[in-house]
A and B are shown apart, each in its own frame.
Chain A
Amino acid sequence: MKPLKHNRCTMGCHGSCCLRVDNLSVTMGSDQILEQVSFHMHCGELIALIGPNGAGKSSLFRSILGQMPYTGSIQFQAAAGNRMNARIGYVPQSPSFDASDPVSVLDLFVASISSWPVFLPIPNALRTQVGDSLKRVNGSDLIDKPVGALSGGELQRVLLAMALEPVPNILILDEPTSGVDIDGERQLLTLLDDIRTRYDLSILLSTHDLSTLHLVDKVILLKQRILKIGPPKEVLASPEFHSLFLRPFQKGGEAL
């Protein structure tokens, strides 16, 4: 997986920036959630965020989404070089539905991409549009299923298709592989790789699943601060990674 390169960068980083986070700090009450987090993300890059629970992964996402007050700066830059308000696609951690939830995939989709009220019969044009969106994630057959009946992997693909409508500049996925079986996981990662090259977008995902890290371009090891950042091999071999994840008498992938 090679990062795509663009020229004419004005934000002073090497190569091409799509997202630039500088000295990001978040405090909640008296708790310091994030401290001086800085990193750059290039177009077409796939970055994984790892760290124990409570390390601040979700807070970092919510800061980028503009849902949380922070200090420091978060900037976006288009391929052409000018700053912009980036469109961010967000795939939340799989919500749990009760099995009787009557919201269908079509309902969920229409509710988020159009203003057509979902309690009225849905026009064919809208249905076709949703079908096309679902095709991107190999999910055309899911359109009439109630969301409560979807498997973890199916739900992730539906949420991904929603995040791609309209196509964003940056795609953020919160624990996309939790609750997804091995097949679903492989399918999802292949899909993500395909999507980022097809649409030229950057992907930032958090994961507890260390076995998939070799597929990403860069790994950020986060625990309040960035402990280590770099190519997967480098991070996985670092002492910081070892002390967090591989110390004896601690649980493995699901550390802390």
Chain B
Amino acid sequence: MSIWYQLVDLLPFQWAKPDSMLFMKNALLAVLIISPLFGLLSTMVVENRMAFFSDALGHSAFTGIAIGTLCGFIDATWSAVLLAVVFALLFTWVQRKTRMASDTIIGVFASTAIALGIFISTLGGHSFAKFNSLLIGDILSVSPGKIAILAIILGLVLILWIVRLNQLTLAAVHPVLADSRGIHIGLLESLFNCAIAVVVTLSLSWVGLLVINSLLVLPGAGARNIAKNMRQYTLFSLLGAIISGIAGLMISFYVGTSTGASITLCLAVFFGITFYLRRT
């Protein structure tokens, strides 16, 4: 971390002065790690038409945190990660087993998860207020330990991308064709959905439940407006996510707004610009 602090000290901002405002420096590093994560995942979330699916996963992460708190864990994150992964696997399984339209299944799961979360968190007459921070998120609360975990996850997602992106692409285009090429679609979907579940859950308390899904949808959606192939798609999505992430953090610092919402608005502007420049 000290190397990072020294690096940031070189920036010409007031908060970048040596030995001051460490929370802001932590937040900047966190943004630099989660925004490429979301930028990468976003390309395949959009390509696989999973915009609402990822929303439901966000809800299940909230349920997990509520259950963890109920059980008295000081840090409920790990129970949330576990539950989100179980939920993602169950979800993938149900979706493969039923012929019902996927938006219906997602509706069933998302509402069940959020209802269970609220039910548990208010059990015994408790106030919901202590969970309010989860709805909006607070990136300034980020700890160096969590940043390290997310850096490791960014590495794992990069490996997943190198090893499995081709199969994900083919499965998104045509599942039966992918199957005829020997791709195990159920396994692939489970793997990808677990990756989303873990990333969403770990960053939930920073970004906020209400806007986290926008981070999984907007970078890819914006990049699609102008990308002509997968390389451009990935690059634009990454750039959009990173630039919006940094810009959103700065805005939230100087204007005093929620970081998650500020980043989302920057992403919306990114989408607006690419929509204006779109290729078709």
Listed in ascending order, the chain A residues whose CB lies under 8 Å from chain B are 62, 65, 67, 88, 90, 92, 95, 97, 99-104, 106-108, 110-112, 114-122, 144, 146-147, 149, 159
* B232 close to A102 (CB less than 8 A): yes
Kindly identify which residue among B161, B176, B177, B227 contacts A102, using a CB–CB cutoff of 8 Å.
Answer: B227
Chain B hits for A114, CB < 8 A? 166
* A118 close to B165 (CB less than 8 A): yes
Chain B hits for A110, CB < 8 A? 166
| B196 in contact (CB, < 8 A) | no
Kindly identify which residue among B47, B176, B180 contacts A103, using a CB–CB cutoff of 8 Å.
Answer: B47
* B177 close to A119 (CB less than 8 A): no
Central interface residue in A62, A101, A111, A149, by most chain B CB within 10 Å? A111
* B169 close to A103 (CB less than 8 A): yes
The distance in angstroms between the C-alpha atoms of A119 and B177, with both chains bound, is 21
Decide: A108 near B225, CB < 8 A? Known: A65-B179, A119-B231. Answer: no
The distance in angstroms between the C-alpha atoms of A146 and B179, with both chains bound, is 22
| Count of chain B residues near A, Cβ 8 A | 30
| B181 in contact (CB, < 8 A) | yes
B49: nearest chain-A partner, CB-CB: A98
The distance in angstroms between the C-alpha atoms of A110 and B231, with both chains bound, is 12
* B173 close to A147 (CB less than 8 A): yes
| B224 in contact (CB, < 8 A) | yes
Supply 15 A–B pairs (Cβ within 8 Å), ascending by A. A95-B177, A100-B225, A100-B278, A100-B280, A101-B47, A102-B233, A116-B166, A117-B163, A117-B166, A118-B165, A118-B169, A118-B231, A119-B233, A120-B231, A159-B177
* A104 close to B180 (CB less than 8 A): no
* B224 close to A104 (CB less than 8 A): no
Chain B hits for A115, CB < 8 A? 166
| B98 in contact (CB, < 8 A) | no
Give min CB distance, B74 to chain A, whole Å: 39
Main secondary structure of the interface of B (DSSP, over half): helix
Chain A hits for B173, CB < 8 A? 95, 97, 103, 108, 147
| 7 other A-B residue contacts (CB within 8 Å) besides A92-B174, A115-B166, A119-B234 | A90-B180, A95-B174, A118-B169, A119-B230, A119-B231, A119-B233, A121-B231
| B259 in contact (CB, < 8 A) | no
The distance in angstroms between the C-alpha atoms of A144 and B227, with both chains bound, is 12
Give min CB distance, A200 to chain B, whole Å: 21
Chain B stretch 186-234: residues in CB contact (< 8 A) with chain A? 223-225, 227-234
The 8 A-B pairs with the shortest beta carbon distances in the complex, nearest first, are A111-B166, A102-B227, A90-B180, A104-B229, A102-B233, A119-B234, A118-B230, A107-B230
* A103 close to B229 (CB less than 8 A): yes
B280: nearest chain-A partner, CB-CB: A99
Kindly identify which residue among B176, B227, B233 contacts A92, using a CB–CB cutoff of 8 Å.
Answer: B176
B227: nearest chain-A partner, CB-CB: A102
Chain B stretch 153-181: residues in CB contact (< 8 A) with chain A? 161-163, 165-167, 169-170, 173-174, 176-177, 179-181
Decide: A107 near B180, CB < 8 A? Known: A112-B170, A117-B161, A118-B166. Answer: no
Give min CB distance, B154 to chain A, whole Å: 15
